[in-house]
Structure 1
Amino acid sequence: MITTVKGSAGWPITAVLTPGGKPIWIDAYVPKTQLLTIAERFAVIWQQKPQRLLQVAENISKQVATLSLQPESKWSSAIVRDNVEEILTELDQQERGLVGAPKFPSEALLLLMLESYLETPTPALRQQLTLWLGRLSSRGIRDHVHGNFHRYATDAIWQVPHYEKMLYNQALLIKVFAKAGYLLNQPEYFAVAQDTAAFVDNVLKSQSGGYYSAIDADYFSQEGGYYLFEKPQFDKIDTDIIRQFAWYQYKAEALHAPYIAKQEPSQHARDILKTIKNQLPMPHIDKKVLLSWNALLADAFVELYSATGKTNYLVNAQSLVSMIETKLIENGRLKRAYYLGEAGSDALLEDYVCLAQAYHNLYTVTFDDIRQVKARKLLRDIVYNKMNSDVIRNTSDGELISPEALFYHLAKTYSFADSTLSRASRASKKSLQNAYLRAPMTSYSSAGVLLNRWQTGKQHVFAQGNGHIKLVRESANQAKIVISLKAGWHINSHSPNQKSLIATALLIDGQQINTDNYPQPIERKLGFSDKPLSLFEENVEISFKPNGQWLEVKLQACSDNVCLLPEAFKFKL
């Protein structure tokens, strides 16, 4: 609505409504003093000429209702690829991110760029990513004392932040930096992700096991006062500690905060500054536990586990999902928020799809069937409860991930042997394509799912969820692909007996590995074949020397009755 009325969008959104609930005014990020002035003006008009405001409300409602839902161009994947390229060429060439101020992290766009890099790992795209991630991790938008991120930067150089902290930012940036650490082979990105994960555990975790939603920017009437250092505080700090950081000045005031100019300060230096701040009371914490944001965090923990192999993050994800099941599901229905010991208001589409994504990605790394069953149930609940609109009006991600794009991705993933989700997936795809074409330059997640660019980890499921594949790095000179198949499922060996079947193949930078690396296949006759086939089944390990940059695995899975279409997966070595 705000995009239709004003031509631009932002957050938070503020609206003035009639008693009947129709909007007479809407805008984004309105300061308190300005909002009070606006409210007083509307109150006077409402008392004197209410019909004037009712007509404004009617005009806005008609404007939104008559918004054209027909795209200006015809759908094709080539259009999406061209749009993605155009987005990348229009980024801030000096500072990266979107041009101008304020600067939001734009996690959905970063994820799309990482997915694009896996598909086509060009030096230019790598440079764009490393510069952008470098700005995020070194400038003032990151809290270098406590180890996390502020919501956005108020300037064009990522330096002076709006000091609010949101759980969804932390979750999405953990995921971004974990993926980037793996795909770009940059260990320092893992450190940023783990630093942020430690912050949410230490500061935002509630006694219920859920995570609080936000920390206020205001601190005793001073924007960012908790994070800024005054001169008396400086005088207590050793010069050697101060010199490990660069310092930016907050506006025109004698207040400063640290950032990184060249090299990461020592943990001791950070601890000294943290000790000073820990002597102060914390800013106000919004203690609502929101389902969708907690599900995003659970998904981020899964990503961090997959990227680093550290099992404590898997435990965190499993514990958080268990909390959601205990506190935010009542009589089989999801609830949107948990606050003061009670769950309130029915969940929305974003809650269902974010939790379904967490279940699915837990299934991907554990191959635990119950996670798959729960993900499928949530997706079917969305369809049965008609949460997925037949006509998608907006696919722009904003500060989060488009729930419509996420629903399509998951429904497509679970459409096998499920007519309900198969129909929903087909309908969602068409609607998503049309909605994407109406806002192609801000629909990053939709571009990713429509181009099928969401495979970026070390582990994947395949064969309609009946197979699992992961990359295991045993040492600097040895790695292996581990493939697990459920009972009744097989993959063709590296030398199938029939020309029509696709061989299992491992390629490093486009070159096939030596055939001696493959295990001995079995010969088995399946229901659709008159002759025995050369197969791998159950647990398959293929060892190789990781002498290269990229590993591609090609395979074709078969049940006892049918062979599926071939699949391919790409891994960073």
Structure 2
Amino acid sequence: MIDVVNMSSSTMNHLKNEESPYLIQHASNPVDWYPWSKKAFEKAKKDNKLIFLSIGYSTCHWCHVMEKESFSRDDVAKVMNEKYVSIKVDREEMPDVDAYFIDFANRVAGNAGWPLNIILTPDLKPVFPFTYIPRESRYGSIGIIELLNSIHELWTNSPEEIFRKVEENEKLTVNKIPKATSYKNENLETLAYNQLKSSFDRSYGGFGRNMKFPSSHIMSFLSNYYNIYKANEALEMAETTAAAIRMGGIYDHVGNGIHRYATDFGWKIPHFEKMLYDQANFIMALSKLYTATSKKQYIDIINEEIEFLRDKMLSPEGGYYSAIDADSEGVEGKYYLWTSGELMRMLGEDYTKFASTFNVREDGNYIEEPKGMSNGKNILYVENEKNYTDKFNKNGFFWLDEVIKQSLGKLKNARERRVPPQTDTKICGDINGFLLYSLSEAFSSTNDKRFLKYAEDLYNFLSNKYVKNGRCVHLIYPSGKTISGYLSDYAFLSMGFFKFGFSTANNQAIDNAKEIADQLYLKLNAERDTIMNENRSAFIGTLNSQEDSSIPSQFAVYERTQLYANMAGQYNELINLSTSETVENITKYPSYFTFRMETEMERKNSILLKGNYNEIDDLIKIRENLADKGYSSVYFERDDSLKSNTYSLCNSAACVLNGVNFESILNYLKSQKK
């Protein structure tokens, strides 16, 4: 947490009583920040001032840059305080507000990111979106003082121009949900696969040739596609990408865990934030890769990921923190970078081999963004072009001999003595629900009981703290302040509870998931036709982009949850959340909706076995037997009415066999493959 003890209350703004680490970072700015609140909205209307809305999060590097360059400066604050009402939002505290404006920025400007800065009218109509704004004009970008003065002048002298811009924006962003719009799923998985093939980077893995995000749910889709259609190229794309990430600079070779994204197409130069959702997503992809290949290296990487999470992101209570900063001591990546001199002194005679393995250079290999120049330091990475990733996929960690392992241990000990990056200690319900899903997937894919234990621990924490009678919590602050659940919390927690329950035949978890799904259904049914929600905030997320981004979209997660609910005998009508625009996009560009595509594959290929199970080992034995026969998506539910060693076979629509022996199950499944 941010230490606010030394902040004088006389110099603090309206954020002084907030508990979000991000808002606390700005509480002593000379900018008169307000939280997202009725008080701020009323002031804007009363004073007839435009609103400067700034959205970010506590571990965001460019948010730190703007805070240091601009929001801490009196001359910038003077303009903002005199001419605007300024509002700060933590995107992880208010994901619905963030989602709405991210979608707005993407539609109007063609791109979005954080910090996200939006000019709003006094009645909350968005006008102009911006991301990072420099303090002074440079490199073709206007400086913040000049920008704010020019917009204020327009508002003062020609307000009709502002309102005309609002009308233009609304033509781009108004996106009402029709009463009946749906898409046909005929061959969309194959179209998605072919689109991914066309954008696949055959040299370094991933998709495209610019900066690269892990987008691990795409790897999951490709692994599942291979399992069902036996398309070797699907598996090759997934394996090459996973190997390139693990070998590249985007992966922390010293302490484990993946960074936010790579600024280059070769995965070598990372943007150093570590987000919980990226780790959860990567664990999910690795689990699916193990299902497809049975290769031990995927279990090993899952172990590394979990070791990192439990070492650096696990709270004493049992939930996982949301993120680790890119910066330490005000410098991006300082915690993770090394000079060749440091490494020589530390490693002695082992330096030469270590430097060759990890591409260490005396003049440094790390290129600073945005200068495009080396800072004399090194990021560790293994060469990860196609021939090297092929070697990893065949032989595993070919570079990790005892000398390299011991050297990495020395670096880890040395790094522990450095000033670490700040950890954002928010425990968000939705992302912890996603992690529960991924840990449960890791267990059901590998049958490794270590992963079961981690999933059980997280399930127990969430069921005790974040879910009660189907109602979810988004986060709980140390003071006890609670923020109630958003749609994303209900979607991800329900999916995670279902996955855990079906992976372990834990009927209590399945029942809890059904209660959450019921509440999600009620919320979506009530909110589907509105963007105003007076009790929570000005906006909700139901009308925003439904494409997957760094993680699966909450709407795709909702559809997965409904599939699991159907398997559990809960048949709420699937609420149609697809706009005509979304249907067109899904039909034309299904590769942007891979989690949805994967749900359709699960719908056609998953089976549920009900039985009178007594031990986890019973499930593992059955799962291994079915996996050998090509059934990789198997779920379990306990049914005490069945006799020992008899089972009921079900799918998402109905049970097709009841109370039969396992041989009968196998014979039926075999007959369905003909």
Q: TM-score, normalised by structure 2?
A: 0.66
1:312 and 2:450 aligned: yes
Q: Which amino acid aligns with 2:151?
A: I
Q: Tell me which residue corresponds to 1:211.
A: 320
Q: Which amino acid aligns with 1:352?
A: Y
Q: 1:236 aligns to what SS in structure 2?
A: helix
1:264 and 2:399 aligned: yes
Q: Tell me which residue corresponds to 1:56.
A: 165
- CA offset at residue 93 of structure 1? 2.2
Residues 55, 479 of structure 1: CA spacing in aligned structure 2 closer, same or farther, 3 A cutoff? Answer: closer
Q: Tell me which residue corresponds to 1:443.
A: 593
1:198 and 2:307 aligned: yes
1:407 and 2:558 aligned: yes
Task: Tell me the distance in 1 between the aligned counterparts of 2:568 and 2:320.
Answer: 36
Q: Tell me which residue corresponds to 1:560.
A: none
Percent identity over the alignment is 21
- Pick aligned residue for 1:41 from 135, 138, 147: 147
1:173 and 2:308 aligned: no
Q: Tell me which residue corresponds to 1:125.
A: 234
1:389 and 2:492 aligned: no
Q: Where in structure 1 are there 5+ consecutive unaligned residues?
A: 495-501, 505-532, 543-551, 557-565
Q: Tell me which residue corresponds to 2:571.
A: 422
Q: Which amino acid aligns with 2:335?
A: Y
Q: Is the 8 A contact 1:436 1:446 kept in 2?
A: no
Q: 2:202 aligns to what SS in structure 1?
A: coil
Which residues in structure 2 correspond to 1:114-263 (within 5 Å)?
114-238=223-347, 239-241=349-351, 243-244=353-354, 245-247=357-359, 249-251=365-367, 252-261=374-383, 263=398
- CA offset at residue 9 of structure 1? 4.9
Q: Which has the higher contact order (CA 8 A, sep 6+)?
A: 2
Residues 32, 95 of structure 1: CA spacing in aligned structure 2 closer, same or farther, 3 A cutoff? Answer: farther
- CA offset at residue 209 of structure 1? 1.6
Q: Which amino acid aligns with 2:378?
A: H
- Report the more deviating stretch, 394-403 or 3-12: 3-12
Which residues in structure 2 correspond to 1:287-302 (within 5 Å)?
287-302=425-440
Residues 337, 145 of structure 1: CA spacing in aligned structure 2 closer, same or farther, 3 A cutoff? Answer: same
Q: 1:385 aligns to what SS in structure 2?
A: helix
Which residues in structure 2 correspond to 1:460-475 (within 5 Å)?
461-462=608-609, 470=619, 472=621
- Report the more deviating stretch, 282-291 or 265-274: 265-274
Q: Is the 8 A contact 1:164 1:216 kept in 2?
A: yes
Q: Which has the higher strand share?
A: 1
- Report the more deviating stretch, 64-73 or 173-182: 64-73
Q: Is the 8 A contact 1:72 1:437 kept in 2?
A: no
Q: Is the 8 A contact 2:133 2:143 kept in 1?
A: no
- Pick aligned residue for 2:120 from 8, 17, 37: 17
Q: Tell me which residue corresponds to 2:13.
A: none
Q: Tell me which residue corresponds to 2:107.
A: 4
Q: Is the 8 A contact 1:299 1:361 kept in 2?
A: yes
- CA offset at residue 98 of structure 1? 1.4
Task: Tell me the distance in 1 between the aligned counterparts of 2:623 and 2:491.
Answer: 35
Q: 1:337 aligns to what SS in structure 2?
A: strand
Task: Tell me the distance in 2 between the aligned counterparts of 1:417 and 1:182.
Answer: 24
Q: Tell me which residue corresponds to 1:334.
A: 472
- Pick aligned residue for 2:217 from 83, 102, 108: 108
Residues 219, 541 of structure 1: CA spacing in aligned structure 2 closer, same or farther, 3 A cutoff? Answer: farther
Which residues in structure 2 correspond to 1:525-564 (within 5 Å)?
536-537=660-661, 540=662, 555=668
Residues 568, 299 of structure 1: CA spacing in aligned structure 2 closer, same or farther, 3 A cutoff? Answer: farther
Q: 2:187 aligns to what SS in structure 1?
A: helix
Q: Is the 8 A contact 1:503 1:555 kept in 2?
A: no
Q: Which has the higher helix share?
A: 2
Q: Is the 8 A contact 1:141 1:152 kept in 2?
A: yes
Q: Which amino acid aligns with 2:366?
A: Y
1:373 and 2:511 aligned: yes
Task: Tell me the distance in 1 between the aligned counterparts of 2:612 and 2:106.
Answer: 39
Task: Tell me the distance in 2 between the aligned counterparts of 1:61 and 1:465.
Answer: 57
Q: Which amino acid aligns with 1:450?
A: E
Q: Which amino acid aligns with 2:555?
A: E
Q: Which amino acid aligns with 1:250?
A: Y
Task: Tell me the distance in 1 between the aligned counterparts of 2:192 and 2:593.
Answer: 10
- The number of aligned residues is 509
- Report the more deviating stretch, 112-121 or 177-186: 177-186
- CA offset at residue 61 of structure 1? 2.8
Task: Tell me the distance in 2 between the aligned counterparts of 1:67 and 1:475.
Answer: 47
Q: Which amino acid aligns with 1:26?
A: P
- CA offset at residue 428 of structure 1? 5.6
- Pick aligned residue for 2:494 from 336, 340, 356: 356
Q: Is the 8 A contact 1:392 1:404 kept in 2?
A: no
Task: Tell me the distance in 2 between the aligned counterparts of 1:348 and 1:109.
Answer: 25
Q: Is the 8 A contact 1:71 1:438 kept in 2?
A: no
Q: Is the 8 A contact 1:491 1:535 kept in 2?
A: no
Q: Is the 8 A contact 2:474 2:484 kept in 1?
A: yes
Q: Tell me which residue corresponds to 1:94.
A: 203
Q: Is the 8 A contact 1:168 1:296 kept in 2?
A: yes
What value does the CA root-mean-square deviation take over the aligned residues? Answer: 4.2
- CA offset at residue 120 of structure 1? 1.8
Q: Where in structure 2 are there 5+ consecutive unaligned residues?
A: 1-103, 368-373, 389-397, 530-541, 651-656
Task: Tell me the distance in 2 between the aligned counterparts of 1:161 and 1:474.
Answer: 38
Task: Tell me the distance in 1 between the aligned counterparts of 2:604 and 2:410.
Answer: 41
Task: Tell me the distance in 2 between the aligned counterparts of 1:247 and 1:6.
Answer: 39
Q: Which amino acid aligns with 1:314?
A: L
Task: Tell me the distance in 2 between the aligned counterparts of 1:97 and 1:18.
Answer: 40
Q: Is the 8 A contact 1:73 1:437 kept in 2?
A: no
Q: Is the 8 A contact 2:470 2:518 kept in 1?
A: no
Task: Tell me the distance in 2 between the aligned counterparts of 1:291 and 1:360.
Answer: 15
Q: Is the 8 A contact 1:408 1:429 kept in 2?
A: no
Q: Is the 8 A contact 1:69 1:393 kept in 2?
A: no
- CA offset at residue 29 of structure 1? 6.2
Task: Tell me the distance in 2 between the aligned counterparts of 1:485 and 1:341.
Answer: 40
Residues 137, 293 of structure 1: CA spacing in aligned structure 2 closer, same or farther, 3 A cutoff? Answer: same
- Report the more deviating stretch, 151-160 or 303-312: 303-312
Q: Residues 257-298 of structure 1: CA distance to partner in whole angstroms, max 9, x if unpaired?
A: 212246332432221110111111211111111111111112
Q: Residues 106-147 of structure 1: CA distance to partner in whole angstroms, max 9, x if unpaired?
A: 112111101101102233222222211110110101000001
Task: Tell me the distance in 1 between the aligned counterparts of 2:209 and 2:180.
Answer: 28
Residues 287, 393 of structure 1: CA spacing in aligned structure 2 closer, same or farther, 3 A cutoff? Answer: closer
Q: 2:119 aligns to what SS in structure 1?
A: strand
